Structure 1
């Protein structure tokens, strides 16, 4: 009986490891110091409160449904106004959809635009991985690059999770 449980545990561990590997969990983020060349526009809603609050998840589902129904065209994105380490307790984030511009679409009720301006010095992190494992890899890559290059993060982050292509995060530096 113990051998059966041991074999089952081993099989499950190998299975989870293979899935994690296929999702890109073993890859590291590529991080470069850049200056943003264009503004990024987000259509969405602002949230401030506990990161584990259901209201935060509701905003994400709302943005997903707006994309799925065709009310908004673009990729998932967020602008975080505080450090990713502190978002475990309290998040200040604009949740929504990255759009091409602020004139070609009608916003759903309750939505507004926010801009991540051009001309900012940022650490640009990207990874070939699923959006399920990408955020931790991207933020740890940004933190390591900031320490290595002795840069100070301003705790303003733009997340971009495209349907096609690499998830990415832009972290503004001083």
Structure 2
């Protein structure tokens, strides 16, 4: 009986390891210091409160559903206004959809635009991985690159999760 449980445990562990590998969980983010060449426009809503609060999840689902229904065209994205470590307790984030411009589509009720301006120095991290494992890998990459290059982060982060392509984070540096 113990051999059966051991074999089952090994099989499950191998299965999880393969799934994690296929999602890109063993990859590291590529990070480079850049200056943003273009502005990024987000259509969405602002949230401030506990990251685990249902209201934060509701805003995320709402943005996803509006995009899926075609009421907003673009990719899912967020602008965090505090560090990822502290956002676990209290998040300050603009949740929404990255759009091409502010004139080509009408905003849903309650939605506003936010701008992530061009000309900012950022650490640009991207990874060929699933959006399920990407955020942790991206923020870890940004933090390590900032330490290695002796850069100070301003705790403003643009997250971009495209339908096709690599998830990315742009972290503003001083």
* TM-score range relative to shorter protein: over 0.9
For residue 34 of structure 1, what is the aligned residue in structure 2?
34
Measure how far apart 1:164 and its partner are.
0.4
- The whole-number CA distance in structure 2 between the counterparts of 1:109 and 1:171 is 29
5 Å matches for 1:12-31?
12-31=12-31
5 Å matches for 1:5-154?
5-154=5-154
Structure 2 portions without partners, runs of 5+: none
Structure 1 portions without partners, runs of 5+: none
Specify the SS of the correspondent of 2:31: strand
Equivalenced residue count is 174
TM-score by length of 1: 1.00
- The whole-number CA distance in structure 2 between the counterparts of 1:68 and 1:76 is 10
- The whole-number CA distance in structure 2 between the counterparts of 1:151 and 1:171 is 11
Report runs of 4+ in structure 1 exceeding 6 Å deviation.
Answer: none
- The whole-number CA distance in structure 2 between the counterparts of 1:13 and 1:58 is 33
For residue 171 of structure 1, what is the aligned residue in structure 2?
171
Measure how far apart 1:29 and its partner are.
0.3
- The whole-number CA distance in structure 1 between the counterparts of 2:68 and 2:35 is 32
- The whole-number CA distance in structure 2 between the counterparts of 1:95 and 1:3 is 49
Structure 1 residues 134-163: Cα deviation after superposition (integer angstroms, max 9, x where no partner): 000000000000000000000000000000
- The whole-number CA distance in structure 1 between the counterparts of 2:4 and 2:59 is 44
Specify the SS of the correspondent of 1:154: strand
